[in-house]
Structure 1
Amino acid sequence: MNDISHSSPGAHSDELLFAAEADAAGFRALPGWKLLIVDDEEEVHVITRMVLEGMTFSGRGLSFLSAYSGREAAEILRAEPDVAVILLDVVMETGQAGLDLVEFIRGELGNRLARIILRTGQPGQAPERDVITRYDINDYKHKTELTAQKLFSTVTTAIRSYNDLRAIEKTRQGLELIISSTRGLFQRGDMELFARGVLDQMSSLLRVNEDCLFLHSPSGFAATVQDGDIAVLAGTGEFSHCGIGLACSLSLDVLDALRTAVREKSSQFTRDHFVQYFRSRRGGENLLYFRLNHPLSPFEHRLVEVFSRNVAVAMDNMQLGLELANSQKEIIFTLGECVESRSKETASHVRRVSECCRLMAERLGFAAQDAELLRLASPMHDVGKIGIPDSILLKPGPLSTEEFEVMKTHTRIGFQMLKGSPRPIMQAAAVIAHEHHERWNGQGYPRGLRGEEIHPYGRIACLVDVFDSLLSRRVYKEAWPLPRVRDYIADERGGMFDPGMVDILLGDLDAFTALRNEFPD
């Protein structure tokens, strides 16, 4: 083996220096960059540690890990996925143990971030041209050429590359979070998901630590911050316990920083934290709080300002979308309630059907978005009754054959009313209006569909509508007791109703009746 030279490190970059004994600014110590030494000779480990001991990069030192075989290194890398740099020997327990480890890291572990520096004392065993071409490594060094200066330079370059790649990866993850928050306004917590994406992106852009908060108030913070009642959208790091609907206990220094920004209506930058204050066009106030491990440069200040303006625009658009979606929901429920009121049935019926349809969809394993879509569309199941004459719709006794044929047309009327809209809610409502009187055995109307020919939304609405109607008083009947309703639905298993859905309803009857009781007549 050839020893690593002990020559003086010499000049180095402004990011590479020996660690100070104490941090005069009072910043908390950051964890060291993890450097894994993989070599079967102890002397290599000792000399590498000795040469690199005391080096820091971007305010962080090195944390050394040692492995003496490819197998041992593999176990360490399974347990330590955030290793920044791997100094790797080629020849260990086998002639190409190091190269096998490279394939394990990039292939089985899927780790593309760790920088791999191949060191070999036997270059003929692994020719540089072949290795560089065939394997995903980042540098190739003969042990004879690795003086202390070159080792410093090589490791520094590798850490810088790792740090840049990690920042890019965090930015990608932050963008994915923001994109996922806009995929559908039906999902709960979308604003919090958006806020977490903002925090991740800002952390990556500024390369600051992850102790940060995103606060938002649609009407202003003037009272809430002063009283300590903080409206937090999301928090990370030491603030990860904070979020929508969660109690958020903040230290006095954080509260003071937030209060100052709100009182002065301006952003506050210090050496160990910054609070970005910005207002949206819709009048809401927003605060981003970040704890810093280094002061921000003037360029980073400008970056924060630009980023915050973009966030404000995005939040305005998201809130506008939420308001439009909520308005659409209200219109649908109101129209459904109007139909029920005309037929002398209570408006609570559509609420109960809506919530029970959602519960049934969840029990069936529907995606959250599909279950919510069904909840929103189901109030329109009887909208076609708008076209049925009062003399038939409000008749207290049984309908004649001719009258029942007219009543049956409400399914086609509803379908014709709704089918022209391209909106997903209206499309789902059209299906439900058309098929909620079809029967599993094919004896329903208007088309006599059988079994799974009937859309799942239609089958669910059919069962839930009958379940709630039988338990409720109508102009033509009194409410049935629950045992009678249970027996009727069990008897119609495979007749009127989808057998699997009946099993779910009767197997979890308490949950459905409890949900129904939340909206009494």
Structure 2
Amino acid sequence: MAEDDDFVTVIDDEASPVATGPRWKVAVIDDDPAVHDGTRFALYDYALNDQGLEIVSAFSAAEGRELLRAHPDIAVLLLDVVMETDDAGLKLVEYIRHELRNETVRIILRTGQPGQAPERRVIVDYDINDYKAKTELTADKLFTALTAALRGYQQLQRMVETRRGLEIIIDAASELFDFKSMQRLAEGVLTQIASLLNVECAGILVLRDSGRDGKGPSVLAASGCYRNLTGIDVEQALAPDLRKLVLQAFERRCHDFMAHRSVLYIQTGSGREVVVLLEAPRPLSATDRTLVEVFCSRLSVAFDNVILYEQLQEANNRLEERVARRTRELTLANQRLAAQWARLRRANAFKNEVLGRVAHDLKNPLGVIMGRAEILTEFITAAQVPTEKSLTQVEHIRDTVKRLAGMVDTLIADAMVDALDITIRSEPVELVELVEEVIEAGQPLAEKKKQTIRISRPPSFAITGDTDRLREAIDNIVGNAIKYTPIGGRIDVEVALAGGEAFVRVRDTGPGLSPEDQGRLFGRFQRLSAKPTGGESSTGLGLSIAKQIIDLHGGRITAESAGSGKGATFTIVLPLNQQT
């Protein structure tokens, strides 16, 4: 016992003065008021790890239940056994461990009647940490027992905090790895550290990326009183004291724990550096520091994961843009090919049509030429050459050749229109004079057929268009009227202005248009049901060419007929100022 007393005395001499900071909470539950007073007296100057005591009291097991419910942070319980009943203290132990599920409070059982609660049975049957008879519990032994109990409580608390912290780290790892942006990850790190330390703390997370075109470190996320610092450049906008701590962390490349501020340094596998500056209302304990270090060791992978994701997303976006651009190019190319293929098909169909029509339409004039040439040969080989008859045959051959030349010119003109080789010039066109020229050119054939052509026109005016092409279109319409109007018939041509448009109407007294004719009138190689009245040839292309020319001028052409034998009216409508 002497050795024990000496050991206690050494501890007592080295005890710290009463602390003014956080205190150990000790509960005394005993029905003897003197025990409460004696305990307070013996421990009035007790301190461990610069923490004094806060003693709370209860005078029965029932009061003890209320006390423990109200103070779950009690570190040590000095508990009497015999109070309301002989086993009131033991039942309170069961209540603490089983109902309150408080496994960290250290329980020192004190009894003045050891026979009521034998030490061995109590230690075995009940979850207590020490057993003392009141008669043997001197001030020194109370000091020793309490110190051992508080150290046990402290170790348990560290274990509990460590387990809680590790659970948070494990949960946080999966959550942080789910973040797909650096901003969200940075915010998540600050939130998880505050949860890990179980305190409300302010902080900033700074990223230094050596690959960002020489840019300095910037604040990715901030919380608490620093929340308005998000996005600023550290070297330009951060307060001097904070900037100094952050830059020193980048230099030292290690954690630094101070009284109320902690600086954490993280380097990712990709070479980027992260500094987290925390400001907490209390210093971090050794357990807190260990947990924070473990947590930070896992953040490197999380940051690299986000960086890789962002790079992958950027590459994917670039790829999608390239695919979309290439798709547009291929679509346009495909459309061009389709258009070219359609033009080729039309050209091929047109070629076949032309060849068939040429074979048919040129066969008769060629036959005439061959026949007249044979007759002429016979005349030449005769003893006397009949000059007048020879000249007649030559005239027939000349007329036939002219018709052939006209057919070829018409076919070539239509081919040019079909191949889109026709170019419409934009120039002033005196429409009235142009119509008069066309009528004048057609007068010889009209006079030959004893037809009368009358023109009604306003004063001269100009439109915008291609003189040569418009002459060709109008000539086709007037020529058709002469071709199908009977001998001695009349043709009326009217030029007019109305509503910003110019009108050229050609009325004839020919056979008119059947419903079938009107349905296919402007088609290529479409011959009308009526026949030319002077034996003229027809390729079936004149009206088709005229329509295409008028269309290219932004105008329109129509045909009307009151019925068979009642003539027809063709109307050309042209804008006055067509932009070509």
Q: TM-score, normalised by structure 1?
A: 0.48
Who wins on radius of gyration, i.e. which is larger? 2
Q: TM-score, normalised by structure 2?
A: 0.44
- Structure 1 or 2: more strand by fraction: 2
Higher relative contact order (CA 8 A, sep 6+): 1
